[in-house]
Amino acid sequence: MVLLALVCLASLLLGAGDVGPARALAVLMGQGDAEARFVLGSLRLPRTLIGLVVGLSLGVAGALLQAVTRNPLAEPGLLGVSAGAAFAVALALLLGATATTMRVGVAQLGAMAGCLCVLGVARVSGAGNDPVRLVLAGAALTGLLLSLTSLLLLFDQRAADEIRFWIVGSLAGRRLEHLVAILPSLLLAGGLVLAVARPLAAMALGERIASGLGHRPGLIRLLVIVAVALLVGAATATAGPIAFIGLVVPFAARALAGPDIRRTLWFCLPLGPLMVIAADIVSRLLVAPSEMPLGVLTALCGAPVLVAVVRARRMPTL
């Protein structure tokens, strides 16, 4: 938590513009000029808060998806869940949708369709037990959805302009109203996560044992699908499809907390925001005075992690 607080402070102090750490720190101390106050209050503070929520959502969603598929490579960005949300938003924009709250709901419906596809593939005989085959199937679904999204944008220049940031993922330009729009669904998702955490831990021992303990695996899977759809849809509607956070965060959380999903979820709460905000800071400074999209940076850093996990002699199992 201390490290997360330091990263949040760095997110307020550092940026690609003319307002450096000294001017930003003066604002935090109750002084500073008007330009610095505007940059911190209107740009960096909303960006940091949204980074907190997006990181938390993607980290927890990745842990849930990996637990319910019993696959350590299951990740919303890799398996088409985020791409499904982006495709749904592109389709809604093409049909004339403009309200922020509408986009959140549409993105969550698209994410839910992606979740159903993932679980459908996972339950195909043999595919769910092979992490690499599941990722390949998810990559094919992601490629198909991204191609359809690009095709939709060719028909409407307005939609192309509005959705451009969704294609690469970014926290730049996000406002507090975007955060307010997703809070109700995130609260609902939080309640679902609390409800399914204990049954998911029992399901890790096998569905028969979970049933013997009084749990209902089919209902638990449905609740997990809804929770993942709410979390990924809200994050994607706000910041676009940001890949690999849902893979790296649960992987690091399990390394610290062990295989118990309940402890993993607790560790995902600070680790997700920590990684997203740290990556966002690097994206601001790497090509200053311009900025690199956050989704590009997470893909550059996350792809080697995926390759390392796949090439590991002992594939971790759940």
Residues 6+ apart with CB under 8 A from 293: 165, 168, 169, 170, 172, 283
> For position 7, what pLDDT does the model report?
87
At 15, which amino acid appears? G
Lookup result for tokens 């979740």: 115
Domain boundaries, position 246: 47-311
- Alpha-carbon distance of 89 to 102, in angstroms, equals 9
**Whether the predicted pLDDT of 256 surpasses 60:** yes
**159 falls within a domain:** yes
Q: How confident is the model at residue 141 (pLDDT cuts 50, 70, 90)?
A: confident
> For position 199, what pLDDT does the model report?
85
- Alpha-carbon distance of 103 to 169, in angstroms, equals 15
Lookup result for tokens 């637990």: 67
pLDDT one-digit tens code per residue, 145-175: 878 877 777 776 666 666 665 666 777 777 7
Q: What is the mean pLDDT of residues 264-287?
A: 87
**144 falls within a domain:** yes
**81 falls within a domain:** yes
The first and second tokens of residue 111, run together, are: 């994410």
**Whether the predicted pLDDT of 276 surpasses 80:** yes
**Whether the predicted pLDDT of 8 surpasses 60:** yes
Q: What is the mean pLDDT of residues 231-256?
A: 83
- The Cα-based distances of 160 to 89, 92, 94, 290 in angstroms read 11, 12, 9, 21
Task: Report the percent of the chain where pLDDT is more than 70.
Answer: 84
**36 falls within a domain:** no
Q: What is the mean pLDDT of residues 7-36?
A: 83
**30 falls within a domain:** no
Question: Contact 83/141 with Cβ under 8 angstroms?
Answer: yes
| DSSP string for 183-250 | HHHHHHHHHHHHHHHHHHHHHTT-HHHHHHTT--HHHHHHHHHHHHHHHHHHHHHHH----SHHHHHH
Number of domains the chain contains: 1
**240 falls within a domain:** yes
Question: Contact 210/203 with Cβ under 8 angstroms?
Answer: yes
**102 falls within a domain:** yes
For 111-139, the three-class secondary structure string (H helix, E strand, C coil) is HHHHHHHHHHHHCCCCCCCCHHHHHHHHH
> For position 159, what pLDDT does the model report?
61
**pTM, entire model:** 0.83
pLDDT one-digit tens code per residue, 294-315: 777 777 777 777 777 667 655 5
Evaluate the omega torsion of the peptide bond into residue 131 and state whether it is cis, within 30 degrees of 0: no
Which of 217, 193, 185, 208 shows the shortest CA–CA distance to 61?
193
**141 falls within a domain:** yes
Q: Output the domain CATH number for residue 83.
A: 1.10.3470.10
> For position 127, what pLDDT does the model report?
53
Which of 90, 88, 87, 63 shows the shortest CA–CA distance to 76?
63
pLDDT one-digit tens code per residue, 79-125: 777 777 778 877 777 777 665 656 677 777 887 787 777 667 666 65
